[in-house]
């Protein structure tokens, strides 16, 4: 069996565009998006795709064409949304350290809401809005202190994390924000972590936030929207993942008769399993203790295994006729941490093409030039068609902003 993306064989894509190569299925993106809008239909949610998962302009444009809003965390992400034709009025600006310049850019662009994460940030947004003679639509990101039960590096909703305003301080922070002349409170927000495999922390967070909504209402502070963030996990190996229909039903029940519009900020669950990283085997090397399959993709193309010990399924794209053996799949980067998979059974030889699955999210967007490697190309497949959506970088481009001066 030869593997393909929609109707285009991976082998043809690798020949045409070279490797390493990120390949995305457009219909998988559409299906994932519809998964949200269908499940949550009764709540008419605004799904704000978290651009950090994959900020390629074609991916943003595709989601925009489906009616998506966007969750951004930097001026650069906002610039991408605007360049791809996304709607600033459906864009939420999250993140703990927004600069004055970024706030000004977003205010002028007319974003839907700033998720504010601290008192000093409230002061900063108020000051920038006053200077520009504008009113900033705002919400507070509340840290509900629930355990997302995910990898500690991607858990964000605990007291010990840098994100959001502590649950115990949130009421007062809202009162403080409500006193600012250039801020208009439009929402309430939380995001407790990423790659959640269990629904219960998401529900618990929603419950806690709604308790706060009720307390705020008594004080005359009425957020119009409830933003539950992202975090829904995907299958990399054989994990259980939250069922969107069950999530939607639980949220609907919890919201009850409150007049709140729902906003969601999914990233990984919209793009993760729509993408694959194709890589060519350079060598098979027998070490003293282990075998190594050395590929042309490395940690700079897919950092997740090195950073979180993350698992990505890897398989040969075409049968090779060789016997399977156990090996570490590693890249050419000069780091012991440069691995894509450990102790994998695989049948391959030099020249074989491998597919590294679930590489649509936090792969290309976290890529770097480490070891002066060019960033890989990206291709979008739709049916029998494939389009290059990011050219392979060149050495000249890598060096373009540098000067060799004495």
Residues that bind ligand LLP (CB under 6 A): 50, 52-53, 71, 94, 154, 191, 194-195, 229-232, 265-269, 304, 308, 362
The Cα–Cα gap between 317 and 5 comes to 11
The Cα–Cα gap between 401 and 406 comes to 16
| Catalytic annotation present for 334 | yes
State the minimum distance, in angstroms, from the CB of residue 307 to ligand LLP. Answer: 7
SS3 category, 282:
strand
Beta strands 165-166 and 325-330 are unpaired
Q: Is 372 left (phi over 0), alpha (psi -120 to 50) or beta?
A: left
Residue facing ligand LLP at closest CB distance: 230
Closest CB to ligand LLP among residues 144, 231: 231
Closest CB to ligand LLP among residues 17, 236: 236
State the minimum distance, in angstroms, from the CB of residue 257 to ligand LLP. Answer: 27
Closest CB to ligand LLP among residues 71, 296: 71
Beta carbons within 8 Å of 145's beta carbon, 6+ residues apart: 157, 158, 159, 166, 167, 208
Taking a C-beta distance cutoff of 8 angstroms, is the pair 267, 230 a contact?
A: yes
Which residue has 């457009």 as its token pair?
Answer: 26
* Number of residues that make up the chain: 406
State the minimum distance, in angstroms, from the CB of residue 50 to ligand LLP. Answer: 4
State the minimum distance, in angstroms, from the CB of residue 61 to ligand LLP. Answer: 19
Name the catalytic one among 48, 113, 190, 334.
334
Closest CB to ligand LLP among residues 177, 232: 232
Estimate the share of the chain in helix, then strand, then coil, as percent rounded to the nearest 5.
Answer: 35, 25, 40
Tokens at 135, concatenated: 């009113």
Continuous H helices in 49-117: 57-65, 75-83, 100-109
State the minimum distance, in angstroms, from the CB of residue 35 to ligand LLP. Answer: 13
Phi, psi for 85 (deg, rounded to 5) = 85, 15
State the minimum distance, in angstroms, from the CB of residue 117 to ligand LLP. Answer: 9
Closest CB to ligand LLP among residues 53, 294: 53
Closest CB to ligand LLP among residues 227, 296: 227
Q: In the 8-state DSSP scheme, what is residue 134?
A: -
- Residues recognised as catalytic: 334
């Amino acid at each position: 069996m030869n593997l393909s993306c929609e109707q285009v064989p991976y082998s043809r894509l690798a020949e045409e565009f070279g490797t390493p190569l990120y390949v995305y299925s457009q219909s998988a993106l559409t299906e994932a998006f519809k998964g949200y809008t269908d499940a949550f239909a009764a709540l008419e949610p605004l799904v704000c795709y978290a651009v950090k998962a994959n900020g390629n302009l074609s991916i943003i444009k595709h989601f925009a064409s489906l009616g998506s809003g966007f969750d951004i965390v930097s001026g650069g992400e906002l610039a991408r949304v605007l360049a791809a034709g996304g709607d600033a009025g459906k864009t939420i600006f999250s993140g703990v350290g927004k600069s004055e310049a970024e706030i000004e850019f977003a205010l002028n662009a007319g974003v839907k809401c700033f998720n504010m994460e601290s008192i000093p940030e409230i002061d900063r947004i108020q000051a920038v809005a006053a200077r520009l003679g504008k009113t900033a639509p705002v919400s507070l990101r509340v840290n509900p202190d629930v355990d997302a039960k995910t990898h500690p590096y991607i858990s964000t909703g605990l007291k010990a994390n840098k994100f959001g305003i502590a649950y115990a301080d949130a009421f007062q922070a809202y009162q403080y924000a409500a006193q600012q002349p250039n801020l208009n409170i439009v929402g309430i927000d939380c995001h407790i972590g990423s790659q959640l495999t269990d629904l219960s922390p998401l529900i618990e967070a929603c419950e806690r936030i709604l308790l706060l909504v009720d307390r705020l209402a008594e004080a005359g502070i009425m957020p119009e929207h409830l933003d539950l963030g992202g975090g829904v996990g995907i299958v990399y190996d054989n994990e259980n993942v939250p069922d969107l229909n069950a999530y939607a039903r639980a949220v609907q029940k919890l919201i009850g008769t409150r007049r709140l519009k729902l906003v969601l900020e999914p990233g990984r669950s919209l793009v993760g399993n729509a993408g694959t990283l194709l890589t060519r085997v350079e060598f098979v090397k027998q070490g003293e203790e282990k075998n190594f399959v050395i590929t042309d993709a490395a940690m700079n193309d897919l950092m997740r295994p090195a950073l979180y010990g993350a698992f990505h399924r890897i398989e040969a794209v075409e049968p090779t006729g060789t016997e399977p053996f156990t090996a570490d799949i590693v890249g050419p980067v000069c780091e012991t941490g440069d691995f894509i998979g450990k102790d994998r059974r695989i049948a391959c030889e030099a020249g074989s093409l491998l597919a590294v699955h679930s590489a649509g999210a936090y792969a290309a967007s976290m890529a770097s030039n480490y070891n002066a490697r060019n960033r890989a190309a990206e291709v979008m497949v739709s049916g029998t068609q494939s389009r290059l959506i990011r050219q392979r970088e060149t050495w000249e481009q890598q060096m373009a902003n540098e000067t060799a001066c004495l």
